């Protein structure tokens, strides 16, 4: 629709991504589009030239939108465009806060791009709200842990690769019973990130401006997360190794917790105090082995990804986890049922693992009996699908009422049923 471009041009207004300017307000050399270059060269200030400039701006903006979609950064692009328009920003905020369900259905569970959480509105991003919801509703702490340790986030992601978190892990290892401690990172806009989920998007790829100041919305969100999390997960001892400003926010919910930070979390005094307190408490409990915690870690990821019902059936005491973290394989009776994907931070299921989703009637896609896809399931071949499926979810493909394949969703469940074109599922394993 070019009516707005023509109408603006007829009134001598030039359109730019940042807004509209009257022709007399635009300095020479400001725009290098073909129409403006010719205007300056031929001294042509006609309405026709202005309209052609506006057409060029529209075409450029369309190209920018297509590029943003292709790279998975459309929201960031929209935010830059709405920043200069209060009315557009108002509509964007209403969309986020009142139409979460619509946006969440269309938001992938994992992305390769970094989540830029540069505004207070980021706590309402659908992938952020979904992460918090899954942590509270699906996730449960490792059974063997007795001590909760709150840690600050780090600039580098995943946290465990950062210099500060390597220091924290060294202190934990020196206690002699590190696996009895459960590390939980406190951060905005995610609230809390259990260590087991640090490779899950968006925890593995997000960036925030670090000022040391916390907005009221952030404070309330973190307090609510911690309050609801502790209602579902019980610890015998709670230790906080958070900076003072963040520690005060937490103290309002947990007045009995032990604080170990003295100034900066990585200062000698802070690390020494953390070491002293941990050693005092960890040896009160039975020693927990790394093998036990590794299996519990996989179960925690499965809970987050599929829910506790599937995780409890899939990851039992007879399951064996092999490999060096984070490249892990999950075996049951010597048969691989899943692999921990370092790229996705989630479990990738084999056919044997897919049977657990079939039993739970979760993330299923029913295809036409006449097709036997090998690489992809196209939307035209889908008869029915679980409406709870989101893009990048692990799914099971059913054919003739039997498990035919496992793979990754490339559409949400509703789109699979409605669309007649496009890739619905990218198959990973299939029956021969």
**Residue 302 burial class via C-beta count within 10 angstroms: exposed 0-12, middle 13-18, buried 19 and up:** buried
Quickly name the fold that domain 115-282 has: Rossmann fold (3.40.50)
* Long-range Cβ contact pairs of 15-22 (< 8 A, separation 24 or more): 15/53, 15/54, 15/57, 15/58, 16/57, 17/57, 17/61, 17/64, 17/81, 18/84, 19/84, 19/85
**Residue 332 burial class via C-beta count within 10 angstroms: exposed 0-12, middle 13-18, buried 19 and up:** middle
Question: What's the confidence (pLDDT) of residue 222?
Answer: 96
Binning pLDDT at 50, 70 and 90, where does residue 145 land? Answer: very high
Question: What's the confidence (pLDDT) of residue 97?
Answer: 85
Q: Any idea which architecture 296-430 has in CATH?
A: Roll (2.30)
Rounded to an integer, what distance in angstroms lies between the CA atom of residue 392 and that of residue 413?
Answer: 11
Looking at the DSSP bridge assignments, the partners of residue 69 are none
Question: Chain-wide mean pLDDT for the chain?
Answer: 94
Average pLDDT over residues 28-53: 82
User: 100: part of which helix (H) or strand (E)?
Assistant: helix 100-105
User: Residues 6 or more apart from 91 whose CB is under 8 A from it?
Assistant: 82
Average pLDDT over residues 31-53: 82
Question: What's the confidence (pLDDT) of residue 249?
Answer: 94
Question: What's the confidence (pLDDT) of residue 163?
Answer: 97
pLDDT of 115 over the 80 cut: yes
Question: What's the confidence (pLDDT) of residue 211?
Answer: 78
Q: Are 136 and 421 in contact (CB under 8 A)?
A: no
Range from 21-25, 69-73, 108-112, 121-125 carrying the lowest mean pLDDT: 21-25
Q: Considering the entire predicted model, what is its pTM? A: 0.90
Q: What percent of the chain has pLDDT over 70?
A: 100
Q: Where do the CATH 3.40.50.10630 domains begin and end in the chain?
A: 115-282
Q: Where do the CATH 2.30.130.10 domains begin and end in the chain?
A: 296-430
Q: Which residue has the tokens 């986890």?
A: 321
pLDDT of 146 over the 90 cut: yes
Binning pLDDT at 50, 70 and 90, where does residue 390 land? Answer: very high
The model's pLDDT over 259-307, given as tens digits with 9 standing for 90+, comes to 999 999 999 999 999 999 999 999 999 999 999 999 999 999 999 999 9
The model's pLDDT over 185-240, given as tens digits with 9 standing for 90+, comes to 999 999 999 999 999 999 999 999 887 788 999 999 999 999 999 999 999 999 99
């Amino acid at each position: 629709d070019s009516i707005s471009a023509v109408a603006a041009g007829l009134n001598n207004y030039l359109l730019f991504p940042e807004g509209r300017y009257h022709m007399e307000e635009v300095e020479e050399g400001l725009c290098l589009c073909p129409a403006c270059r010719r205007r300056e060269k031929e001294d042509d200030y006609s309405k026709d030239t202005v309209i052609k400039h506006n057409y060029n701006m529209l075409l450029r903006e369309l190209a920018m939108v297509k590029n943003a979609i292709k790279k998975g950064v459309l929201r960031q692009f929209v935010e830059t465009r709405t920043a200069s328009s209060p009315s557009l920003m108002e509509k964007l905020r209403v969309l986020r806060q009142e139409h979460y369900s619509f946006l969440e259905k269309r938001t992938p569970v994992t992305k390769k791009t970094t989540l830029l959480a540069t505004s207070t509105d980021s706590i309402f991003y659908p992938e952020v709200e979904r992460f918090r919801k899954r942590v509270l509703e699906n996730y449960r702490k490792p059974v063997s842990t007795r001590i909760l340790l709150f840690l600050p986030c780090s600039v580098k992601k995943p946290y465990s690769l950062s210099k500060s978190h390597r220091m924290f892990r060294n202190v934990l290892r020196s206690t002699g019973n590190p696996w009895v401690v459960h590390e939980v990172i406190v951060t905005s806009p995610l609230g809390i990130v259990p260590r087991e989920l640090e490779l899950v998007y968006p925890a593995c790829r997000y960036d925030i401006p670090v000022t040391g100041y916390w907005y009221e919305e952030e404070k309330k969100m973190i307090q609510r997360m911690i309050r609801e999390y502790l209602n579902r997960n019980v610890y015998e001892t709670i230790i906080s190794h958070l900076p003072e400003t963040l520690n005060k926010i937490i103290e309002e919910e947990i007045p009995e917790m032990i604080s170990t930070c003295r100034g900066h979390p990585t200062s000698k005094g802070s690390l020494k105090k953390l070491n002293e307190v941990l050693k005092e408490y960890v040896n009160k409990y039975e020693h927990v082995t790394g093998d036990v915690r590794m299996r519990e870690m996989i179960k925690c990821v499965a809970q987050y990804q599929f829910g506790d019902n599937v995780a409890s059936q899939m990851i039992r005491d007879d399951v064996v986890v092999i490999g060096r973290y984070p490249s892990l394989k999950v075996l049951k009776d010597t048969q691989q049922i899943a692999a921990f994907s370092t790229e996705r931070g989630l479990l990738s299921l084999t056919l044997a693992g897919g049977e657990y989703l079939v039993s739970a009637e979760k993330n299923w896609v029913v295809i036409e009996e006449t097709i036997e896809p090998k690489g992809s399931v196209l939307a035209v071949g889908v008869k029915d699908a679980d409406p709870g499926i989101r893009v990048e979810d692990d799914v099971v493909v059913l054919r003739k009422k039997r498990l035919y394949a496992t793979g990754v969703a490339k559409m949400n469940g509703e789109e699979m049923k409605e669309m007649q074109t496009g890739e619905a599922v990218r198959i990973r394993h299939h029956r021969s």
